[in-house]
Amino acid sequence: MARKEREALLPPDVAAAERARTTGGIGNEGRVAILGTFVAPLERLKLEYVVCGEQSNLFALIHKIATTQGLKGFWKGNFVNILRTAPFKAINFYAYDTYRKQLLKLSGNEETTNFERFLAGAAAGITATILCIPMDTIRTKMVAPGGEALGGVIRVFRHMVETEGFFSLYKGLVPSLVSMAPSGAVFYGVYDVLKTAYLRSPEGRNRLALMKRQQREEVNAIDQLELGPARTLLYGAIAGACAEATTYPFEVVRRHLQMQVQANKLNAFATFMNIVDKGGAPALYAGMIPSLLQVLPSASISYFVYEFMKIVLKVE
């Protein structure tokens, strides 16, 4: 009996689980964790520029970390970063689809408009940020100068709560939330615009027609990607890079807020002005190169897994 015929005899929830099991590989969170570990050195380099105020060039910084801390220094704080990144990505994509579908029901439109994508993307980013920012704050504290003396995740958590209160875990929340609207809009909007433009092109229409003819055949999930694997990865990378470049100054301000102690705490605007006074406008883009190098594979694979799992689980 063919797989599709066998699945037709199963209840919908059981059939979905069977499809997920038989596609092989690991789940979305597992892929995110592996990818996060792979690009962790780039995240570490970015934090050295943003958090520690590193002034040397990229290659000099790589040599400095390698000689003073060894190879493991590039993965400093990676565990807590995975604890933050995996749920953040999962919540973000799930929330985006949920909000988009609800907006579609409210508007009564047949297709999602760019404005609805903007609202859904902004709301998804805000939701994921509120739920996951404590782990980001802890990670920043661990990498900052003096962070090693505080110990691991639990000890840093206890230290911050005992000395500065529970809400110190939400330092930098305001610039994070402010940046989420344009970041979500650009991240989802750019990808959807590129995807729509391709599918409306002669090549895209031919691909959709071919896929329609193959509907009754046993075609694997990768071959069912509307854009194909290469374009899905490419458009995801472009969307991620555009979103990162657009909102990167907010990232720098947020990291500086997370490093502050109660005694000399500044608000977001005062922190922004302090960064500019000390380093000029370029200081708002400190660590941009390693950040983009990290975002390119991260965003591309995130979108690939997102589109892949929608096909596997037959999510519209």
pLDDT one-digit tens code per residue, 108-139: 887 778 788 778 888 888 888 888 888 888 87
The pLDDT of residue 8 is above 70: no
| pLDDT band at 148; cut points 50, 70, 90 | low
Least confident stretch, 21-25, 172-176, 192-196, 224-228: 21-25
More confident residue, 97 or 315: 97
Neighbours of 148 (CB within 10 A): 11
Residues 25/277, Cβ–Cβ less than 8 Å: no
| pLDDT band at 313; cut points 50, 70, 90 | confident
- Burial of 302 by CB count in 10 Å (0-12 exposed, 13-18 middle, 19+ buried)? buried
User: Whose CA is closest to 89, among 125, 117, 139, 123?
Assistant: 125
User: Whose CA is closest to 51, among 153, 139, 154, 175?
Assistant: 139
Q: What's the full length of the chain, in residues?
A: 316
Which residue carries 């038989």 as its tokens?
Answer: 22
User: Whose CA is closest to 245, among 173, 299, 194?
Assistant: 299
The pLDDT of residue 32 is above 50: yes
| pLDDT band at 234; cut points 50, 70, 90 | very high
| pLDDT band at 201; cut points 50, 70, 90 | very high
| pLDDT band at 4; cut points 50, 70, 90 | very low
Q: How far is 231 from 198, CA to CA, in rounded Å?
A: 9
pTM for the whole thing? 0.61
Q: How far is 238 from 295, CA to CA, in rounded Å?
A: 9
- Burial of 220 by CB count in 10 Å (0-12 exposed, 13-18 middle, 19+ buried)? exposed
Percent of the chain surpassing pLDDT 90: 7
Question: What value does the mean pLDDT take over residues 42-58?
Answer: 69
The pLDDT of residue 15 is above 70: no
Question: What value does the mean pLDDT take over residues 168-186?
Answer: 79
